Protein backbone atom coordinates (compact mmCIF):
# COMPACT_ATOMS: atom_id res chain seq x y z
CA UNK A 1 0.00 0.00 0.00
CA UNK A 2 1.88 3.06 -1.21
CA UNK A 3 0.76 6.18 0.66
CA UNK A 4 0.60 9.60 -1.00
CA UNK A 5 1.74 11.92 1.76
CA UNK A 6 0.26 14.95 0.02
CA UNK A 7 -3.22 13.55 0.65
CA UNK A 8 -2.72 12.97 4.37
CA UNK A 9 -2.42 16.49 5.69
CA UNK A 10 -2.50 20.18 4.78
CA UNK A 11 0.74 21.28 3.10
CA UNK A 12 1.86 23.48 5.99
CA UNK A 13 2.26 20.60 8.46
CA UNK A 14 5.80 20.04 9.70
CA UNK A 15 7.81 17.10 8.33
CA UNK A 16 7.81 15.36 11.73
CA UNK A 17 4.05 15.72 12.06
CA UNK A 18 3.49 14.47 8.53
CA UNK A 19 5.77 11.51 9.14
CA UNK A 20 3.72 10.70 12.21
CA UNK A 21 0.53 10.73 10.14
CA UNK A 22 2.05 8.43 7.54
CA UNK A 23 3.36 6.01 10.17
CA UNK A 24 -0.03 6.00 11.85
CA UNK A 25 -1.72 4.87 8.65
CA UNK A 26 0.75 2.15 7.72
CA UNK A 27 0.86 0.69 11.21
CA UNK A 28 -2.92 0.61 11.38
CA UNK A 29 -3.02 -1.10 8.00
CA UNK A 30 -0.41 -3.65 9.02
CA UNK A 31 -2.08 -4.84 12.18
CA UNK A 32 -4.45 -7.15 10.37
CA UNK A 33 -1.79 -9.54 9.06
CA UNK A 34 -2.31 -8.71 5.42
CA UNK A 35 0.23 -8.92 2.64
CA UNK A 36 0.99 -6.49 -0.13
CA UNK A 37 3.36 -8.04 -2.58
CA UNK A 38 5.81 -10.77 -2.14
CA UNK A 39 5.05 -13.44 0.35
CA UNK A 40 1.96 -15.12 -0.90
CA UNK A 41 -0.93 -12.74 -1.43
CA UNK A 42 -2.22 -9.21 -1.86
CA UNK A 43 -3.46 -6.99 0.92
CA UNK A 44 -6.64 -8.43 2.32
CA UNK A 45 -6.50 -11.68 0.40
CA UNK A 46 -4.63 -14.77 1.49
CA UNK A 47 -3.97 -13.74 5.03
CA UNK A 48 -6.33 -10.83 5.37
CA UNK A 49 -9.56 -12.72 4.81
CA UNK A 50 -10.87 -14.88 7.63
CA UNK A 51 -13.53 -16.82 5.77
CA UNK A 52 -13.17 -15.95 2.09
CA UNK A 53 -16.12 -16.94 -0.10
CA UNK A 54 -15.06 -19.58 -2.57
CA UNK A 55 -16.49 -21.73 -5.34
CA UNK A 56 -16.85 -25.48 -4.94
CA UNK A 57 -14.37 -27.66 -6.81
CA UNK A 58 -17.07 -29.11 -9.09
CA UNK A 59 -18.24 -25.64 -10.06
CA UNK A 60 -14.66 -24.54 -10.61
CA UNK A 61 -14.04 -27.41 -12.97
CA UNK A 62 -17.18 -26.55 -14.94
CA UNK A 63 -16.04 -22.95 -15.21
CA UNK A 64 -12.49 -23.79 -16.29
CA UNK A 65 -13.04 -23.97 -20.10
CA UNK A 66 -14.83 -20.62 -20.23
CA UNK A 67 -12.21 -19.13 -17.89
CA UNK A 68 -9.35 -20.20 -20.17
CA UNK A 69 -11.17 -18.98 -23.26
CA UNK A 70 -11.60 -15.54 -21.76
CA UNK A 71 -8.07 -15.51 -20.40
CA UNK A 72 -6.63 -16.24 -23.84
CA UNK A 73 -8.17 -13.06 -25.23
CA UNK A 74 -6.51 -10.99 -22.52
CA UNK A 75 -3.21 -12.85 -22.87
CA UNK A 76 -3.15 -12.31 -26.64
CA UNK A 77 -3.73 -8.59 -26.10
CA UNK A 78 -0.64 -8.57 -23.86
CA UNK A 79 1.51 -10.13 -26.54
CA UNK A 80 1.45 -13.70 -25.24
CA UNK A 81 1.85 -16.24 -28.01
CA UNK A 82 -0.54 -19.15 -28.42
CA UNK A 83 2.36 -21.56 -27.98
CA UNK A 84 3.32 -20.09 -24.60
CA UNK A 85 -0.32 -20.02 -23.48
CA UNK A 86 -1.00 -23.61 -24.49
CA UNK A 87 2.18 -24.90 -22.88
CA UNK A 88 1.39 -23.10 -19.62
CA UNK A 89 -2.09 -24.65 -19.39
CA UNK A 90 -1.38 -28.06 -20.90
CA UNK A 91 -3.22 -30.75 -18.91
CA UNK A 92 -4.24 -28.19 -16.28
CA UNK A 93 -6.13 -29.46 -13.26
CA UNK A 94 -7.26 -27.30 -10.36
CA UNK A 95 -5.80 -27.71 -6.87
CA UNK A 96 -8.54 -28.29 -4.23
CA UNK A 97 -6.08 -27.90 -1.34
CA UNK A 98 -5.45 -24.25 -2.16
CA UNK A 99 -8.91 -23.04 -1.20
CA UNK A 100 -8.61 -24.94 2.07
CA UNK A 101 -5.35 -23.10 2.68
CA UNK A 102 -7.05 -19.81 1.88
CA UNK A 103 -9.83 -20.43 4.40
CA UNK A 104 -7.76 -22.00 7.20
CA UNK A 105 -4.60 -20.13 8.02
CA UNK A 106 -3.11 -20.99 11.41
CA UNK A 107 -1.02 -17.84 11.80
CA UNK A 108 -4.16 -15.97 12.90
CA UNK A 109 -4.25 -18.08 16.04
CA UNK A 110 -0.54 -18.06 16.91
CA UNK A 111 0.77 -15.81 19.65
CA UNK A 112 3.15 -13.18 18.40
CA UNK A 113 5.95 -14.51 20.59
CA UNK A 114 5.57 -17.93 18.95
CA UNK A 115 5.50 -16.31 15.53
CA UNK A 116 8.65 -14.22 16.08
CA UNK A 117 10.47 -17.02 17.87
CA UNK A 118 9.66 -19.41 15.04
CA UNK A 119 10.90 -17.07 12.32
CA UNK A 120 13.94 -15.86 14.26
CA UNK A 121 14.83 -19.29 15.62
CA UNK A 122 18.36 -20.24 16.77
CA UNK A 123 18.68 -22.38 13.64
CA UNK A 124 17.85 -19.44 11.36
CA UNK A 125 20.22 -17.17 13.26
CA UNK A 126 23.05 -19.69 12.93
CA UNK A 127 22.33 -20.30 9.25
CA UNK A 128 22.08 -16.56 8.60
CA UNK A 129 25.46 -15.94 10.15
CA UNK A 130 26.96 -18.77 8.13
CA UNK A 131 25.44 -17.38 4.93
CA UNK A 132 26.83 -13.95 5.84
CA UNK A 133 30.32 -15.44 6.04
CA UNK A 134 29.88 -17.44 2.82
CA UNK A 135 28.29 -14.66 0.78
CA UNK A 136 30.02 -11.65 2.29
CA UNK A 137 31.36 -10.31 -1.01
CA UNK A 138 28.01 -10.76 -2.77
CA UNK A 139 25.85 -9.11 -0.11
CA UNK A 140 28.38 -6.28 0.17
CA UNK A 141 28.00 -5.60 -3.56
CA UNK A 142 24.20 -5.72 -3.30
CA UNK A 143 24.26 -3.38 -0.30
CA UNK A 144 26.49 -0.96 -2.21
CA UNK A 145 24.19 -1.08 -5.24
CA UNK A 146 20.88 -0.60 -3.44
CA UNK A 147 21.69 0.77 0.02
CA UNK A 148 19.73 -1.98 1.79
CA UNK A 149 21.37 -3.48 4.86
CA UNK A 150 22.87 -6.90 4.11
CA UNK A 151 21.60 -8.37 7.38
CA UNK A 152 18.03 -7.39 6.52
CA UNK A 153 18.37 -9.04 3.10
CA UNK A 154 19.59 -12.24 4.72
CA UNK A 155 16.75 -12.06 7.24
CA UNK A 156 14.15 -11.67 4.47
CA UNK A 157 15.68 -14.68 2.72
CA UNK A 158 15.62 -16.68 5.95
CA UNK A 159 12.03 -15.80 6.81
CA UNK A 160 10.66 -16.24 3.30
CA UNK A 161 12.22 -19.56 2.30
CA UNK A 162 14.57 -20.69 5.09
CA UNK A 163 17.50 -19.61 2.93
CA UNK A 164 16.18 -21.42 -0.12
CA UNK A 165 15.30 -24.71 1.53
CA UNK A 166 11.53 -24.10 1.43
CA UNK A 167 10.59 -22.23 -1.74
CA UNK A 168 7.42 -24.19 -2.49
CA UNK A 169 6.95 -26.84 -5.14
CA UNK A 170 3.44 -26.12 -6.44
CA UNK A 171 3.10 -25.08 -10.09
CA UNK A 172 2.39 -21.36 -9.91
CA UNK A 173 0.15 -21.38 -12.99
CA UNK A 174 -2.06 -24.05 -11.41
CA UNK A 175 -2.20 -22.24 -8.06
CA UNK A 176 -3.11 -18.88 -9.56
CA UNK A 177 -5.67 -20.36 -11.94
CA UNK A 178 -7.34 -22.11 -8.99
CA UNK A 179 -7.47 -18.87 -7.00
CA UNK A 180 -8.64 -16.79 -9.96
CA UNK A 181 -11.62 -19.12 -10.43
CA UNK A 182 -12.30 -20.09 -6.82
CA UNK A 183 -11.65 -17.03 -4.65
CA UNK A 184 -14.66 -14.74 -5.03
CA UNK A 185 -13.10 -11.92 -3.03
CA UNK A 186 -10.11 -11.15 -5.26
CA UNK A 187 -10.58 -12.87 -8.62
CA UNK A 188 -9.23 -9.89 -10.57
CA UNK A 189 -6.07 -9.80 -8.47
CA UNK A 190 -5.33 -13.47 -9.09
CA UNK A 191 -6.17 -13.12 -12.78
CA UNK A 192 -3.70 -10.24 -13.07
CA UNK A 193 -0.98 -12.27 -11.37
CA UNK A 194 -1.70 -15.22 -13.66
CA UNK A 195 -1.42 -13.05 -16.76
CA UNK A 196 1.84 -11.65 -15.38
CA UNK A 197 3.23 -15.19 -15.10
CA UNK A 198 2.43 -15.68 -18.77
CA UNK A 199 4.34 -12.49 -19.60
CA UNK A 200 7.32 -13.80 -17.62
CA UNK A 201 7.20 -17.03 -19.60
CA UNK A 202 6.91 -15.10 -22.86
CA UNK A 203 10.11 -13.18 -22.05
CA UNK A 204 11.93 -16.44 -21.41
CA UNK A 205 13.29 -15.75 -17.92
CA UNK A 206 12.33 -19.26 -16.89
CA UNK A 207 10.72 -22.36 -18.39
CA UNK A 208 7.07 -23.06 -17.57
CA UNK A 209 7.79 -26.31 -15.70
CA UNK A 210 10.20 -24.52 -13.37
CA UNK A 211 7.78 -21.77 -12.28
CA UNK A 212 6.98 -23.22 -8.87
CA UNK A 213 6.22 -21.62 -5.55
CA UNK A 214 3.86 -21.40 -2.60
CA UNK A 215 0.16 -22.27 -2.62
CA UNK A 216 -0.63 -18.59 -3.27
CA UNK A 217 1.86 -18.13 -6.10
CA UNK A 218 4.87 -16.64 -4.28
CA UNK A 219 8.03 -17.65 -6.08
CA UNK A 220 11.70 -18.32 -5.53
CA UNK A 221 14.21 -17.72 -2.76
CA UNK A 222 12.57 -14.45 -1.77
CA UNK A 223 8.95 -15.42 -2.53
CA UNK A 224 7.97 -12.75 -5.03
CA UNK A 225 4.48 -12.61 -6.41
CA UNK A 226 4.59 -12.41 -10.23
CA UNK A 227 3.71 -8.71 -10.45
CA UNK A 228 6.47 -7.88 -7.96
CA UNK A 229 8.86 -10.02 -9.96
CA UNK A 230 7.92 -8.14 -13.12
CA UNK A 231 8.44 -4.77 -11.44
CA UNK A 232 11.48 -5.38 -9.25
CA UNK A 233 13.39 -8.56 -10.14
CA UNK A 234 16.92 -7.92 -11.46
CA UNK A 235 19.63 -9.88 -13.25
CA UNK A 236 22.44 -9.29 -10.77
CA UNK A 237 24.66 -12.18 -11.84
CA UNK A 238 24.68 -10.96 -15.44
CA UNK A 239 23.58 -14.15 -17.17
CA UNK A 240 20.75 -12.46 -19.06
CA UNK A 241 17.91 -13.87 -16.94
CA UNK A 242 16.18 -12.70 -13.78
CA UNK A 243 16.31 -16.04 -11.99
CA UNK A 244 15.06 -15.86 -8.40
CA UNK A 245 14.65 -19.65 -8.29
CA UNK A 246 18.26 -20.81 -8.72
CA UNK A 247 20.38 -17.63 -8.51
CA UNK A 248 20.89 -16.39 -4.97
CA UNK A 249 22.49 -13.25 -6.38
CA UNK A 250 19.41 -12.41 -8.46
CA UNK A 251 17.05 -13.26 -5.60
CA UNK A 252 18.77 -11.14 -2.94
CA UNK A 253 19.36 -8.23 -5.30
CA UNK A 254 15.70 -8.40 -6.33
CA UNK A 255 14.65 -8.15 -2.68
CA UNK A 256 16.97 -5.17 -2.30
CA UNK A 257 15.48 -3.62 -5.44
CA UNK A 258 12.01 -4.00 -3.97
CA UNK A 259 12.93 -2.55 -0.58
CA UNK A 260 14.71 0.40 -2.15
CA UNK A 261 11.61 1.15 -4.22
CA UNK A 262 9.53 0.81 -1.04
CA UNK A 263 11.46 3.68 0.55
CA UNK A 264 14.40 2.03 2.29
CA UNK A 265 16.85 4.64 3.59
CA UNK A 266 20.52 3.64 3.61
CA UNK A 267 22.33 3.72 6.95
CA UNK A 268 19.11 4.00 8.96
CA UNK A 269 17.96 1.25 11.35
CA UNK A 270 14.66 -0.57 10.94
CA UNK A 271 14.00 0.12 14.62
CA UNK A 272 15.12 -0.62 18.16
CA UNK A 273 14.00 -2.52 21.20
CA UNK A 274 13.05 0.08 23.81
CA UNK A 275 12.79 0.04 27.60
CA UNK A 276 9.91 2.10 28.96
CA UNK A 277 10.09 3.97 32.28
CA UNK A 278 7.93 3.20 35.28
CA UNK A 279 4.57 4.91 35.07
CA UNK A 280 4.79 5.27 31.30
CA UNK A 281 1.62 6.49 29.61
CA UNK A 282 0.82 3.74 27.13
CA UNK A 283 -1.43 6.06 25.17
CA UNK A 284 1.84 7.14 23.54
CA UNK A 285 1.73 3.85 21.65
CA UNK A 286 -1.19 5.09 19.55
CA UNK A 287 -0.17 5.30 15.86
CA UNK A 288 -0.77 9.06 15.88
CA UNK A 289 1.90 9.52 18.58
CA UNK A 290 4.98 9.03 16.36
CA UNK A 291 7.77 11.46 17.23
CA UNK A 292 11.55 11.93 16.83
CA UNK A 293 13.87 9.72 18.84
CA UNK A 294 14.97 12.60 21.08
CA UNK A 295 11.35 13.21 22.09
CA UNK A 296 11.02 9.56 23.10
CA UNK A 297 14.17 9.88 25.18
CA UNK A 298 12.72 12.98 26.84
CA UNK A 299 9.78 10.77 27.89
CA UNK A 300 12.23 8.41 29.61
CA UNK A 301 12.40 5.78 26.87
CA UNK A 302 15.82 4.15 26.79
CA UNK A 303 17.64 1.39 24.90
CA UNK A 304 18.42 -1.84 26.76
CA UNK A 305 21.58 -1.82 28.84
CA UNK A 306 24.70 -1.83 26.73
CA UNK A 307 22.94 -0.67 23.56
CA UNK A 308 22.23 2.75 22.07
CA UNK A 309 19.82 4.64 19.89
CA UNK A 310 21.23 6.20 16.73
CA UNK A 311 19.24 9.33 15.84
CA UNK A 312 17.28 9.19 12.58
CA UNK A 313 15.70 11.96 10.53
CA UNK A 314 12.13 10.75 10.67
CA UNK A 315 9.58 10.19 13.39
CA UNK A 316 9.48 6.82 15.12
CA UNK A 317 6.43 4.90 16.30
CA UNK A 318 6.22 2.95 19.54
CA UNK A 319 5.01 -0.59 18.89
CA UNK A 320 3.80 -2.89 21.69
CA UNK A 321 3.22 -6.19 19.86
CA UNK A 322 2.20 -8.07 23.03
CA UNK A 323 0.72 -5.14 24.92
CA UNK A 324 2.03 -3.34 27.97
CA UNK A 325 3.51 -6.51 29.47
CA UNK A 326 5.74 -7.42 26.53
CA UNK A 327 8.71 -6.02 24.61
CA UNK A 328 8.50 -2.51 23.19
CA UNK A 329 9.99 -1.26 19.93
CA UNK A 330 10.60 2.08 18.29
CA UNK A 331 10.29 1.70 14.52
CA UNK A 332 10.88 4.07 11.65
CA UNK A 333 10.88 4.42 7.87
CA UNK A 334 12.76 1.24 7.11
CA UNK A 335 10.25 -0.74 9.15
CA UNK A 336 7.65 0.68 6.80
CA UNK A 337 9.68 -0.60 3.83
CA UNK A 338 9.68 -4.10 5.32
CA UNK A 339 5.92 -3.81 5.75
CA UNK A 340 5.66 -3.18 2.02
CA UNK A 341 7.28 -6.59 1.55
CA UNK A 342 4.67 -8.19 3.80
CA UNK A 343 2.12 -5.94 5.44
CA UNK A 344 2.24 -7.53 8.88
CA UNK A 345 3.72 -5.90 11.98
CA UNK A 346 4.60 -9.37 13.31
CA UNK A 347 6.40 -10.21 10.07
CA UNK A 348 8.35 -6.94 10.02
CA UNK A 349 9.39 -7.39 13.65
CA UNK A 350 10.55 -10.94 12.93
CA UNK A 351 12.64 -9.76 9.97
CA UNK A 352 14.09 -6.85 11.96
CA UNK A 353 14.93 -8.98 14.98
CA UNK A 354 16.43 -11.77 12.88
CA UNK A 355 18.56 -9.24 11.01
CA UNK A 356 19.87 -7.88 14.32
CA UNK A 357 20.72 -11.38 15.55
CA UNK A 358 22.50 -12.26 12.29
CA UNK A 359 24.52 -9.06 12.75
CA UNK A 360 25.59 -10.26 16.21
CA UNK A 361 23.16 -8.41 18.49
CA UNK A 362 21.90 -10.18 21.61
CA UNK A 363 18.43 -11.55 22.18
CA UNK A 364 15.60 -9.27 23.26
CA UNK A 365 16.12 -7.82 26.70
CA UNK A 366 12.43 -7.96 27.62
CA UNK A 367 10.57 -11.24 27.93
CA UNK A 368 7.32 -12.02 26.19
CA UNK A 369 4.39 -12.39 28.62
CA UNK A 370 4.42 -15.90 30.09
CA UNK A 371 0.64 -16.19 29.79
CA UNK A 372 0.36 -14.70 26.31
CA UNK A 373 -2.18 -16.44 24.13
CA UNK A 374 -3.54 -15.18 20.86
CA UNK A 375 -7.30 -14.82 20.77
CA UNK A 376 -8.82 -17.23 18.31
CA UNK A 377 -11.16 -16.13 15.55
CA UNK A 378 -14.38 -16.51 17.53
CA UNK A 379 -12.88 -14.63 20.49
CA UNK A 380 -11.75 -11.75 18.30
CA UNK A 381 -15.22 -11.46 16.84
CA UNK A 382 -16.76 -11.59 20.32
CA UNK A 383 -14.37 -8.87 21.47
CA UNK A 384 -15.49 -6.63 18.63
CA UNK A 385 -19.15 -7.32 19.39
CA UNK A 386 -18.64 -6.39 23.04
CA UNK A 387 -16.78 -3.20 22.12
CA UNK A 388 -19.61 -2.25 19.79
CA UNK A 389 -22.10 -2.88 22.59
CA UNK A 390 -20.22 -0.26 24.63
CA UNK A 391 -20.84 2.35 21.93
CA UNK A 392 -17.37 1.96 20.45
CA UNK A 393 -16.72 1.32 16.77
CA UNK A 394 -14.30 -1.57 16.13
CA UNK A 395 -14.66 -1.37 12.35
CA UNK A 396 -16.94 -4.35 11.93
CA UNK A 397 -17.26 -7.75 13.56
CA UNK A 398 -14.91 -9.63 11.27
CA UNK A 399 -12.25 -10.93 13.66
CA UNK A 400 -9.61 -8.65 12.14
CA UNK A 401 -7.72 -6.67 14.78
CA UNK A 402 -6.81 -3.64 12.71
CA UNK A 403 -6.28 -0.01 13.53
CA UNK A 404 -9.96 0.77 14.16
CA UNK A 405 -10.37 -2.12 16.61
CA UNK A 406 -7.22 -1.08 18.44
CA UNK A 407 -8.46 2.50 18.65
CA UNK A 408 -11.72 1.23 20.16
CA UNK A 409 -9.76 -0.84 22.67
CA UNK A 410 -7.66 2.19 23.65
CA UNK A 411 -10.77 4.29 24.17
CA UNK A 412 -12.25 1.59 26.40
CA UNK A 413 -8.99 1.27 28.34
CA UNK A 414 -8.70 5.01 28.89
CA UNK A 415 -12.31 5.22 30.07
CA UNK A 416 -11.70 2.57 32.70
CA UNK A 417 -8.21 3.45 33.90
CA UNK A 418 -6.41 0.59 32.16
CA UNK A 419 -3.04 0.79 30.37
CA UNK A 420 -4.00 2.16 26.95
CA UNK A 421 -1.90 -0.24 24.89
CA UNK A 422 -4.68 -1.20 22.47
CA UNK A 423 -3.84 -4.85 22.93
CA UNK A 424 -6.60 -7.50 22.59
CA UNK A 425 -5.80 -10.16 25.16
CA UNK A 426 -7.79 -12.66 27.17
CA UNK A 427 -7.90 -10.39 30.23
CA UNK A 428 -9.56 -7.64 28.23
CA UNK A 429 -12.06 -10.09 26.77
CA UNK A 430 -12.92 -11.47 30.22
CA UNK A 431 -13.39 -7.95 31.56
CA UNK A 432 -15.77 -7.12 28.73
CA UNK A 433 -17.64 -10.40 29.17
CA UNK A 434 -18.12 -9.89 32.86
CA UNK A 435 -19.08 -6.25 32.65
CA UNK A 436 -16.20 -5.43 35.03
CA UNK A 437 -15.44 -1.93 33.76
Question: Does residue 226 carry a pLDDT above 70?
Answer: yes
Reading across the β-sheet that carries 317-319, which strands appear in turn? Answer: 271-274, 328-331, 317-319
User: Rounded to a whole number, what is the largest CA-CA distance in the chain?
Assistant: 68
Q: Pick the more confident residue, 41 or 167.
A: 167
Contact in structure between 275 and 301 (CB atoms under 8 Å): yes
Helix (H) or strand (E) holding 273: strand 271-274
Taking the C-alpha atoms of residue 301 and residue 277, their distance in angstroms, rounded to an integer, is: 6
The pLDDT of 330-347, averaged and rounded, is 95
Confidence class for position 101, pLDDT limits 50, 70, 90: confident
Alpha carbons 123 and 329: distance in angstroms, whole number? 24
* Interval 142-194: pLDDT, tens: 999 999 999 999 999 999 999 999 999 999 999 999 999 999 989 999 999 99
Q: Minimal CA–CA distance to 186: which of 48, 61, 385?
A: 48
Predicted confidence (pLDDT) at residue 9 exceeds the cutoff of 60: no
Q: How confident is the model at residue 106 (pLDDT cuts 50, 70, 90)?
A: low
Instruction: Say if residues 366 and 273 touch (Cβ distance below 8 Å).
Output: yes
Average predicted confidence (pLDDT) for the chain:
87
Among candidates 358, 357, 336, which has minimal Cα distance to 347?
A: 336
pLDDT digits (tens, 9 = 90+) for 64-96: 999 999 999 999 999 999 999 999 999 999 998
Q: Which value, to the nearest 10 degrees, does the dihedral of the CA atoms of residues 5, 9, 13, 14 take? A: -30
The predicted-structure confidence for 22-33, as pLDDT tens digits, reads as follows 444 444 444 433
- Condensed to tens digits (0 to 9), the pLDDT of residues 379-388 reads 999 999 999 9
Please give the CATH number for the structural domain made up of 57-103+166-261.
1.10.8.350
Question: How do the domains of the chain map onto residue ranges?
Answer: 57-103+166-261, 377-434
* Cβ atoms < 10 Å from Cβ of 313: 13
Q: Is the pLDDT of residue 21 over 50?
A: no
42 and 410 Cβ atoms separated by less than 8 Å:
no
Amino acid sequence: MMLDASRLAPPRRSPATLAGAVIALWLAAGDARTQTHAAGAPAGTATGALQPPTVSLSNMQRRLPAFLAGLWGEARARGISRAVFDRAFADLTLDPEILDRLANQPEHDRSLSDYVAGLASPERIETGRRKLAELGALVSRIEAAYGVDRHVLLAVWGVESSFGSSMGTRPVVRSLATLAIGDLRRPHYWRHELLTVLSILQKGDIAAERVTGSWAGAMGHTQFMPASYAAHAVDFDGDGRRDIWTSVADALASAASFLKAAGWRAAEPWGYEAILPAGFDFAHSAPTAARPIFDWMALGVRPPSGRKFVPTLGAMQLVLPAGADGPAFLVGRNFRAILRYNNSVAYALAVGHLSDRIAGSPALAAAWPATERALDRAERQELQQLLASQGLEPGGVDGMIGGQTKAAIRTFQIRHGLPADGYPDTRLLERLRGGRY
